[in-house]
Amino acid sequence: MRGIFVAVLTAAMAIIAVEAGPQGKVERAREILETSAQAYKNVEALRDTLSYVVNAPGSEQETKTQEYGFGPGRRVFIKNALLEAVALDKTFYLTQSDVPDKYVSASYDRDFGSILRNVAGAGSLFEPPPLAMHEGKSFDACVDTFRFNLLEPLRIDGYRRVTGDDKKAYDEVHFAASNGELAVGINPETHFLERITFQVKPPGAPEGLLVRVNGTFSPRASVEPPITFAAGSRSVVNNLTELASKRLALGSPAPDFALETLDGKKIALQDLRGSVVLVDFWATWCVPCWKALKETQAIADWVSAEKLPIKVFAVNTLEQGNNAKEKSQRVAAFWQSQRFTMPMLFDSNSEMFKAYASPGLPSLVLISQTGTILRYHEGLFPEMGETLKRELRESRTNGK
């Protein structure tokens, strides 16, 4: 009897060893993902909320949410605190919460992720993996959505069965990228995503800086609330940049400011009359700000090369820290690590940010030669560099 038990135990250990081996883990992980994709494809309608916390040095660890849903039919929506995208049959709509009188409209060919990137850009809205699975995209295309616009191309790295803090069992699939790693927890009964965690060094991040994200999904197979869109009295515009926020009324006087640069030089708006001024509000903890700063630096280089009467400034604001010295040291180290050369202003008490109606981060404001608001952009947007160049050229041509 003992010999039979040992033989069975040995065989069982051999099976576990195969499952635990690198190749066995990868194959099992792929099976888990394919089963999950089929589950999302089979469900007629679903509503879900992804709640997540971003942990970055100096950041406020607040919970953010992105709601989304699909079905029945070709109806899809996704929204966060600022933007909402809706697709109904063959038409895509994009609205912004602080712009009640306008919306963007575009043709929709069932690839929601593609139209979302083309219209909203690689900003705060991102294609949820369950939606790509429901649309029947290829396995590689579905895996690509787990990058969340931050991770480099992913490879499946392993699988394990885990028990969460909620005492529930999960099939946990691991991914690896050249700039980070990700794990997703899948309910073994419904095969829906329920947990996600990853760490990443986003493009443009200083050496050694990692952003960590922990999130949970709350999927439910449901057609409620129904996915609809009503234009009402709103007018349609062609792209996201035309959804001008009402926080800064175009044509109104730009609030004055007097801030210091890294080397202690004071810059005041009233001393810049005669030049068009572009300001970029940012903070070291704001991940999208890093990409925006790259674009703004490119604009500053273009202005310098063309010898244009345009002033470009990055304005550090809402910086987290115990005191002004700690904040300034962090900002200076970040600036040097990125080799930025455009002037950087310290809005240490966020007074300028508040005077400009506390826009989100990142935000860019274009100020005319006479000191009035010309343009306002909140967040990242498609063709950012070319759009800013065009607006700067127009501001000079019109002589505003």
Fold observed for domain 43-217: outer membrane lipoprotein receptor (LolB), chain A (2.50.20)
Of the segments 170-179, 323-332, 347-356, which one has the largest average pLDDT value? 170-179
Q: What b/e sequence results for 36-69 when a residue is b if at least 16 CB atoms lie within 10 Å of its CB, and e otherwise?
A: bbebbeebebbbbebebebebbbbeeeeeebbbb
Give the residue with greater pLDDT, 20 vs 83: 83
- Answer with the residue of higher pLDDT: 214 or 110: 214
pLDDT of res. 1: 37
pLDDT of residue 288: 84
Domain(s) labelled CATH 3.40.30.10 in the chain stretch across 244-397
pLDDT at 346 over 90: yes
Lookup: tokens for 371: 């000191």
Residue 65 CA to residue 47 CA, distance in Å, equals 13
Is the model's pLDDT at 51 over the cut of 90? Answer: yes
Q: What is the pLDDT of residue 378?
A: 84
pLDDT recorded at residue 123:
64
What backbone torsions phi and psi does residue 145 show, to the nearest 5 degrees? Answer: -70, -20
Q: What is the mean pLDDT of residues 75-103?
A: 92
> Residue 48: which of 183, 218, 205, 171 has the closest Cα?
218
Q: Is pLDDT at 235 greater than 70 in this prediction?
A: yes
CA distance 187 to 52: 18
Closest to 49 measured CA to CA, from 199, 183, 166, 215 = 215
Distance CA 106, CA 398 (A): 29
User: What is the average pLDDT across 29-35?
Assistant: 97
CA distance linking residue 173 with residue 193, whole number of Å: 10
Rg (CA), the chain: 24
Query: For residue 99, what pLDDT is reported?
Result: 85
pLDDT digits (tens, 9 = 90+) for 262-294: 889 999 999 999 999 999 999 988 888 888 999
User: CA nearest 116: which of 139, 89, 93?
Assistant: 93
More confidently predicted of 124 and 140:
140
- Taking only the tens place, the pLDDT of each residue in 214-231 is 999 999 999 999 999 999
* pLDDT over 90 percentage in the chain: 63
Which range of 33-37, 98-102, 235-239, 250-254 scores highest in mean pLDDT? It is: 33-37
Positions of CATH 2.50.20 in the chain: 43-217
Q: Give φ, ψ of 158 to 5 degrees.
A: 165, 180
Q: Concatenate the DSSP letters of all residues of 167-213 into one string.
A: S-EEEEEEEEETTEEEEEEE-TTT--EEEEEEEE--TTPPTT--EEE
Amino acid at 48: D
What's residue 171's pLDDT? Answer: 97
Using pLDDT thresholds of 50, 70 and 90, give the confidence band for residue 130.
very high
Question: Is the confidence at residue 2, as pLDDT, over 50?
Answer: no
Query: Residue 6: its pLDDT value, please?
Result: 33
CATH superfamily of 244-397: Glutaredoxin (3.40.30.10)
Q: Across residues 117-141, what is the average pLDDT?
A: 89
For 4-27, the DSSP string reads: HHHHHHHHHHHHHHHHHSHHHHHH
What pLDDT sits at residue 59? Answer: 62
